[in-house]
Amino acid sequence: MATAEKIQVKLPDGSDLELDAGATGADAAAAIGSGLARAALAINVDGALSDLSAPLQGGETVEIVTDKSPEALELIRHDAAHVLAESVLDLYPGAKISIGPPIENGFYYDIEFPDGSPGEEDLARIEERMREHVKADEPFERREVPAKEAAELFGREGQDYKVELIEDLIRDEGAQTVSLYRNGPFEDLCRGPHGPSTGRIGAFKLTSLAGAYWRGDENRQMLTRIYGTAFLDKKELDQYLERLEQARERDHRKLGPELDLFQFRPEAPGMPFWLPHGTVLLKLMEAEVRKQLDARGYSEIKTPQVLDVELWHRSGHWDNYKENMFFTAPAQSEDAERAGKEEREYALKPMNCPGACLVFASRRHSYRELPLRLAEFGLVSRWEREGVLHGLLRVRAFTQDDAHVFCTLDQVTDEVDSICTAIDQLYERFGFDDVRVELSTRPEKSIGTDEQWEQAEAALRKALERQGRDYDVSPGEGTFYGPKIDFHITDALGRSWQCGTCQLDFQMPERFELAYTGADNADHRPVLIHRALLGSMERFAGILIEHYGGRFPLWLAPVQAVVLPVADRHNERAAEVAVRLRGEGLRARVDERTESVGRKIRDAELSKAPYMLIVGDKEIESESVSVRHHGDGDLGAITVEALIERMQVEAGA
C-alpha cells in the first residue's frame, strides 16, 4: 500500500512497483534493474509517452521505453530534429526556426535562412555539426515557463515564428505556460517528450531540401524545409538509404515522361496529360476493373462533370467539402441581363455519388431490382494547394473507378463480401499480395444520427468478421457521411498505399429522398454503398509504375515488343512481324529510325519493353527473329509462330 513516503505504480505484467514519493520514470527504470536504467529512453504512463525525468504520482500503469520499443524511432527522430535546428543556428546566425516534427520516415525542420537557402552541398556541413552535438551527449532538460515570458524570450532572440506559435497558444488554448527543452546552449519551444540526451540518437542522415510555406499558407513566408532521417543503428540507416535510392530510380515523376506515359504542364497544374503509352496503361487497368463489373452484375453509367451548386447543397458537400471544390464564376447572358436575372452557378464535381443518386431517382424501382449496382469511371476535380501536389499521387483532376450500390440493409453484408472479393482478385492480378484492411469510424465533422452511424458501423464490422478478415480500426477517420473499409497495399519497396474503399451511407438516400417500392407496395429508403476498387486510376497508375520500376509484366506493358530492323532494307520484314503480332492481340511497334542496331537496342532497353526482336539478313533468311527478353536475356532465333505462343502464355492470354 502507498504511504506518504512511498507510491506504487503498476507494471505491464500486472505487478506493483513501490517507489519513493516524487520518483521519476528514470527512478522506476533503476528500481527494476540497472540494465533497464541504462537502456531507458522514455516512459509510457497510462498510454502516454513522457520524459524519464517526469515525476510519477502513484497509481499509474507504466512501461519503460527502450530502443526495442515501437515508440523509440519517433523519439530519437524528434531528438534529431532539435539537434538539426541547433546546428543550423551554430552555422547560420540569424536563421529563424519554426517547427521540426518527427514524421513517418524521419524528421524535418522548417527554417528561414538570413542569406538565401543552403544547397544540397551544404547538408554535409550541417550533418558534421550535428555529429558534434550528438557526441557531446547533451542532456535534454525540460522546463515550464509562463507563456508571455517565453514569447518575450524568443522575441529577444529574433525568433518570430516561435513568438507567433506561443501567441496562438495563448489565444486559442488559453495557455498560461509553455514547455521549453534545452540541449547544450540550444532551447526550443516543444511539447516533448525527448530522450535522455543527444547521445542516444543512433545513425542519422540529412536527405533533402524543399520549400514550404509557413503554416501551409501560400501568402506567408516561404521557408526551407530540411529533411532527415534517423535510426537506432547504422545498418538500419543504410538499408533505408538503399530503399530511398531505389525509390528515386523508380519515381513515377521521372519514369512517366521517359516512358511516354504522362506529363504535367504549367497550363494545368496537378492535371495530368496522358500520352499514348500511358493511355494504353489506363485502358488495361480499366479492362481489369470491367471484368469485375461484368462478373458481379454492375451497369455502367456516365454523369456530367459540371453540376448546379444546388446539388452540392443537397448532397451535403457544400457544408462539408466546399473548400476542396472548383466553382464556375457566375456568368451574365444578354437575355439574363435584360431580365435582370443572374445565371446559375455551377461546380466541377469532386465526387460521383450525387450524379449516381440522380440516375437512381430518374425512375421508380422495385425491391426486386435491388441491389442496383451503378458503376462509373468518373472524372472528378478537387482543389489542392500547389505545394502539396505530387505527380500522379496527389492531383487536382483524376478518374475514380466508382460504383454506387443501392440495396436494403439486409443485403449489405453480401454486397460488402462481393466488393472485398473483387478487390482481393484485382490486387492479386496487379501483383500486390500484402494487403491490410482498415475500418474507419465516425469523424468529428459528420452528418446523420447516432443510431444511423451505429447501424452503419455494425454492418461493416459484421461483413469483415463474417469473411474472417483481420482488420485495424481507425477511430474518427470515416467520411462525413458514413464509415468505410479501406484497403492498403504494400509495394515492392515496402511502402503502404491506401487504394480501394467501401463506404456505407444512410445520409445520401435521405438527402435525395430516394425510394424503392417494397413487397408491401410501400416506399422504403435504400442503403447506399460507395465503393472504389482501385480508387483514383491516376494514383494507382503511379503506384504501379513505382512498384514495377516501369518494367511492367507482359500483360500490362503498353508496348510488349519492339521490332528492331538492323538496316533500312529490313524495315519491310520488321513491319510484317509487328503486323503478325498485333493480329494476335499483342502490342508491338517498329523502330524504323536510321540509327545503328546497337543504339536501337539501348533505347529499347531504356523504354523497358519486355521483348526486343531483331530482324536482319540472317533472320529474314531463316524466317525468324532474334529475341531478347528483359527477364531471361538473349533467347536466340525463334520463329514468329513460336514467339507468339510464348508471349501469349506469358501474358496469360
What pLDDT does 453 receive? 87
- Work out whether strand 299-300 and strand 372-381 pair parallel, antiparallel, or are unpaired: parallel
Q: At which of 42, 65, 88 does a domain end?
A: 65
Cα 88 to Cα 30: distance, rounded to the nearest angstrom: 36
Which residue is listed with cell 536466340? 636
pLDDT at 290: 97
Task: Report if residue 259 sits inside a domain.
Answer: no
Cell of 464: 469483415
Cell numbers placing 159: 525568433
Q: Residue 547 corresponds to which amino acid? A: H
Assess whether 125 and 61 both reside in one domain: no
Query: Alpha helix locations (H) across 136-273?
Result: 147-156, 160-173, 234-250, 252-258
- DSSP code at position 120: G
Distance between CA 391 and CA 217 in Å, rounded?
A: 21
Q: Which grid cell is 527? A: 442503403
Examine the domain organization and report whether 325 and 388 are in the same domain.
yes
CATH at 60? 3.10.20.30
Q: What percent of the chain stands above pLDDT 70?
A: 97
pLDDT at 332: 57
CATH number at residue 599: 3.40.50.800
Residue 261 lies in a domain: no
Asked if 454 and 480 count as a contact pair (C-beta separation under 8 A), the reply is no
Predicted confidence at residue 336, as pLDDT, reads 57
- pLDDT score of 449: 85
pLDDT score recorded for residue 120:
87
Vertex 498, ends 492 and 503: CA angle to 5°?
Answer: 150
Residues 351 and 211 in one domain: no
Is 341 domain-assigned? yes
* CATH number where 135 lies: 3.30.980.10
| Same domain, yes or no: 317 and 406 | yes
Would the pLDDT of 334 be above 70? no
Residue 264 belongs to some domain of the structure: no
Q: Answer whether the bond into residue 193 is a cis peptide, omega within 30°.
A: yes
* Residue 159: pLDDT band with limits 50, 70, 90: very high
CB 519: neighbour CB atoms within 10 A? 9
Q: pLDDT tens digits for 225-279?
A: 999 999 999 999 999 999 889 989 999 999 999 999 999 999 999 999 999 999 9
Q: Has residue 262 been placed in a domain? A: no
- For the chain, helix, strand, coil in percent to 5 are 40, 30, 30
Question: 479 and 558: one domain?
Answer: no
User: What pLDDT score was predicted for residue 175?
Assistant: 93
The answer to whether residues 289 and 283 touch, using CB atoms and an 8 Å cutoff, is no
Contacts of 152 (CB under 8 A, 6+ apart): none
Are residue 61 and residue 99 in the same domain, yes or no? no
> Which three cell numbers, joined as nine digits, stand for 296?
458481379
**Same domain, residue pair 536 and 570:** no
* 56-98 pLDDT per residue, tens: 999 999 999 999 999 999 999 999 999 999 999 999 999 999 9
What was the pLDDT predicted at 397?
Answer: 94
Position of cell 534529431? 80
Domain membership flag for residue 420:
yes
Domain membership flag for residue 450: yes
Same domain, 523 and 456: yes
pLDDT score of 569 more than 90:
yes
pLDDT of residue 524: 96
Per the CB < 8 A criterion, the answer to whether 532 and 404 are in contact is no
Determine the Cα–Cα distance for residues 489 and 535; give it in Å rounded to an integer.
12
412/534 same-domain check: yes
C-alpha 602/C-alpha 605 separation (Å) is 5
Choose one of 217, 233, 249: the last residue of a domain. Answer: 249
Which DSSP symbol is given to 406? E
Q: Compute the average pLDDT of residues 473-477.
A: 91
Among 15, 38, 65, which residue terminates a domain? 65
User: Within its chain, how far is the Cα of 439 from the centroid?
Assistant: 17
- Is residue 77 domain-shared with residue 49, that is, in the same domain? no
Query: Is the Cα dihedral 633, 639, 643, 646 positive or negative?
Result: negative
**Total structural domains within the chain:** 4
The residue among 89, 67, 85 whose CA lies nearest residue 76 is: 67
Q: In terms of Cα–Cα distance, which of 422, 398, 427, 425 is closest to 496?
A: 427
Mean pLDDT estimate for the chain: 92
Q: How far apart are CA 387 and CA 501, in angstroms?
A: 26
Domain co-membership, 540 together with 612 = no
The answer to whether residue 1 sits within a structural domain is: no
CATH number assigned to the domain comprising residue 533? 3.30.930.10
Claim to verify: residue 171 and residue 61 sit in the same structural domain: no
CA distance 501 to 478: 11
Grid cell listed for 632: 531471361
Chain segment 436-454, per-residue pLDDT in tens: 999 999 998 887 888 888 9
Mean pLDDT in residue range 317-336 = 75
Residues identified as active-site: 353, 382, 400, 402, 404, 484, 530
Say which amino acid occupies 473. V
pLDDT in tens, 509-563: 999 999 999 999 999 999 999 999 999 999 999 999 999 999 999 999 999 999 9
Q: Say how far residue 229 (Cα) sits from the centre of its chain.
A: 19
561-599 exposure pattern, b = at least 16 Cβ within 10 A, e = fewer:
bbbbbbeeebbebbbebbeebeeeebbbbbbeeeeebee
The boundaries of the domain holding residue 123 are 72-249
What does the block give as the cell for 617?
539478313
The Cα–Cα gap between 199 and 79 comes to 10
Closest CA to 406 of 379, 378, 369, 377: 369
